[in-house]
Chains A and B, each alone.
Chain A
Amino acid sequence: MEKRKVLDERAGQLEAREREYVRELYALSKKYLEVEKERPLYSIMQKTFGADPFALQDSQMYKRGGYRQSKRKQEFARLGRQVAVERGLPAYNRAVGLPIGQRQLEPILIAGTNIMVEQDDTHHLNNVAIQQMLDDIKRTVIVNLDIAHRMLTVRAGKEVTPETINLYLETLQHTMCGGAVAQEHMSEINPLLVKDAYAKVITGSDEVKDALDRRFLIDIDQLFHPTRAEKLKEAIGDAIWIVLRIPTLAVRMADGDEAARWAAMQNTMAFIASYGLSGEHIISDLAYSFKHARVVRMGNKMWYQRMRGTNEPGGFPDGYICDFMQAERDLPARRFLEVAQEDEEEALKYSRAMHEGIGGIAAVIDNVLWLGFYMSGGIGFSNTVASAAYSEVMNEISMELIELSHRYMQGVRKVPLRWETVRTMVNSIIQYTMESYEKFPTLAEFHWGGAHRVSVIGSIAASSAAMLTGSSTMGLMAAHYAIAFAMKEGWLRTGWAGQEIQDHLGLPYLCSMRPEEGNLVELRGLNYPMQSFSAAHGAIRGAAVYAAMIGRGSSWCLSPVVKVAFADPHLIFDFKHPKLCIAKAGIRQFMPAGERDPVLPPH
């Protein structure tokens, strides 16, 4: 009994000592809150909440007027009543369900802009830029013309010259817009409905480029930094690829699989008209080649249960998703590590470009559209999660990581693909990001769920590890580790985000090249088995792939032609400034394509 008492006392003393140690550190950390005020995060949170970012209590709770604090929700309530009266059936009605707006309904400051949008404005049905981004991808098909040209010269004995190619290209613009060329009595389409349909050429050869009509060319030299253009041109070589963009209205009415069919049909018609072809053997072979031979579709077909055709988001390979991103194309193609060692400011440009792509494109396609809309039905959560990616927070956290790399990685020639090395980096990242959430209660409120917070940690871990090593597999491994680590050693409660990530952490799945188990991350996709399907985790693969490309100083992730195809200035959505487009749509200044006004009654 006596011995037990002594042991209890000793245990108590130890516990007290431990608590004292923790308290001492906590008290000490408060000393540094003044330093934290210099961080851009402080001003971002101040702007977002209009209150002290360090405040631990919300004195305005229950006093903000509920949903009326949001102008957009006020508008929705009014319009909901209007709809109900017009159709004689109740519609959107704020009187039912949980009262909302007791806490602050904070707006989002979109990164790289000075535009504040309300959360509702980033919902994919309210935000036409998000819709147009997906439409622009779904309506794209890329076809190699060399096979067709070979067929024309060898099989049909036709001569292919710059003049014939230019004539074909001009004809193709007409057929892509639904114009008839070979027969009478064909229904044609109102050009205003399909004004976004066209076709343009990509080539890596200066000689071929000079011979072509510039209007029909996606000019690599003009659109990319010379160091990137050089690599892209070398990879594409003398080949001629044609990027076909079918009308937005067509993919909105059918689905992404329509793109390849529309393109193949209209492309064949343009060949028939411009080369004067007849005879079914050659035409059927041409049509076959435009559908199947060296045709680059933006997405693979999915398995039966998913029931989606090609060019639908579940089938986009991660490498293509990252080739849609264009934010880095003006920056020299250099290894990120070298840039970070030399100049912090320059490295920041690469980091900002990376987050522009990941936040503006990968997070939207993966989280909002695929996981949130296609797979779970499209309620608001995934949009809310994506707000973490639109905002400036990721850039801000990366800024400090660049500073750390600049100061402590001088003289490092190459970061090897060793887990112990990457783990060191990831541990620092987790430590810093978790500290940020703990020091800024407003940031924890802004990213209000465990899923938000750990997915931010995962995305930052993926991008940092991939940027420094140049390996997307290492990036994904870092992301999985970061999330599992934050869950196991840090916060324990991570909401939806940490449930299954441990299962995907290990080498057997991540580094295996066996199909259905693992693969190069570039070749995986949203519908890939054996990976985390948690909301908000989609973007971590995008982060790993895009950051690895920037880390290696490469000019593309998976396909040089896809990269060039999305640099096209004729696209409605600007893939170089995705966040700006989303912000503009949030304040209703973005004009999408695919409107039916020309054939509607006056309204």
Chain B
Amino acid sequence: MGKLPSLKEMYPKFAEEFEKTKPPSVLERVTPEAPPPPSFCLPRPDGWWRQPPYSKWIQDRGREPTAYELLLDFIIGRAISSPKAMELASSAPSRLIVYEIEHPQRGTEFVRMFLNPTQVIEGPPEEEPDLWIKMNYYDFVPVLGGEISVFNAVYEGRATILGNTTAGLDQYDVMTAILGFEIPRPRCWPRGHP
């Protein structure tokens, strides 16, 4: 048996080579951060409500509409003209849905929406609502504009809902019908389910 070289001679760059054998760290492979908001959910330039398609249904009050005004215009400008939406809204059980909308400058605005009978009221709720939705104003705008689904904002972590999920689905049905789409209801909570 010949004389064996020392380990240092056999592997002169051992430390370097050993480092290369390691897989990348878990933190490099898994990013816990939420994805950045899509461009249409960022604050909009002044006068955005005068641009189409928003100008078709938002009344120009000479300033950016409040959350209440936005929802009211949406119902008056879009929902009333959709027979399917009206049919859905009148067939759902009576629901009270509260929106808590956070505006970067104006702060928190509350708007309540009744389903069956349809009604939009400004201010915080006086009774316990079926569903509470909390979201940013600039997420609320593309939701009403049909650019993004409300569930998209919820599941990407930019909106929070609390309460009865079926009330959320009822409202979602109405909103998608207003926007001209229809999503079939899941088997677990068919339309009209309490």
Instruction: Output the least CB separation between B99 and chain A (Å).
Output: 15
B residues in contact with A26, CB < 8 Å: 194
Q: Determine if A12 is an interface residue (Cβ-Cβ < 8 Å).
A: no
Instruction: Give A32 to B194 CA distance when docked, in angstroms.
Output: 9
19 contacts between A and B (CB under 8 A): A25-B93, A28-B193, A29-B194, A31-B192, A154-B7, A408-B149, A408-B151, A411-B149, A413-B156, A416-B33, A421-B156, A424-B160, A428-B165, A431-B164, A432-B188, A435-B188, A468-B155, A470-B30, A471-B32
Chain B residue at minimum C-beta to C-beta distance from A157: B1
A411-468 contacts to B, CB under 8 A, are 411-418, 420-421, 423-425, 427-428, 431-432, 435, 468
Stretch at the interface among A257-265, A399-407, A536-544: A399-407
* Contact, CB under 8 Å: A403 / B165: no
* Contact, CB under 8 Å: A28 / B156: no
* Most chain A CB inside 10 Å of its own CB: which residue of B160, B188, B190: B188
Give a binary string over B16-38; 1 marks a CB under 8 Å from any A CB, 0 the rest.
00000101000000101111000
Q: Determine if A512 is an interface residue (Cβ-Cβ < 8 Å).
A: no
B96-115 contacts to A, CB under 8 A, are none
B157-182 contacts to A, CB under 8 A, are 157, 160-162, 164-166, 172
Instruction: Output the least CB separation between B135 and chain A (Å).
Output: 11
Query: Chain A residues in contact with chain B, CB under 8 A?
Result: 25-26, 28-29, 31-32, 35, 38-39, 154, 157, 234-235, 237, 400, 403-404, 407-418, 420-421, 423-425, 427-428, 431-432, 435, 468, 470-471, 552
Known: A154-B7, A411-B148, A416-B34. Contact between A32 and B155, CB under 8 A? no
* Contact, CB under 8 Å: A412 / B23: no
B residues in contact with A35, CB < 8 Å: 187, 190
Known: A35-B187, A400-B187, A552-B30. Contact between A411 and B152, CB under 8 A? yes
* Contact, CB under 8 Å: B4 / A414: no
Q: Determine if B76 is an interface residue (Cβ-Cβ < 8 Å).
A: no
Known: A38-B187, A39-B187, A412-B155. Contact between A420 and B160, CB under 8 A? yes
Name the one of B32, B188, B189 contacting A417, with C-beta atoms under 8 angstroms.
B32
Instruction: Give A473 to B93 CA distance when docked, in angstroms.
Output: 37
Chain A residue at minimum C-beta to C-beta distance from B154: A424
* Contact, CB under 8 Å: B23 / A235: yes
Instruction: Output the least CB separation between A579 and chain B (Å).
Output: 24
Q: Determine if B183 is an interface residue (Cβ-Cβ < 8 Å).
A: yes
Name the one of B33, B187, B193 contacting A403, with C-beta atoms under 8 angstroms.
B187
Chain B residue at minimum C-beta to C-beta distance from A34: B190
Q: Determine if B52 is an interface residue (Cβ-Cβ < 8 Å).
A: no
Q: Determine if B186 is an interface residue (Cβ-Cβ < 8 Å).
A: yes
Known: A29-B193, A39-B187, A431-B164. Contact between A410 and B149, CB under 8 A? yes
B residues in contact with A32, CB < 8 Å: 190, 193
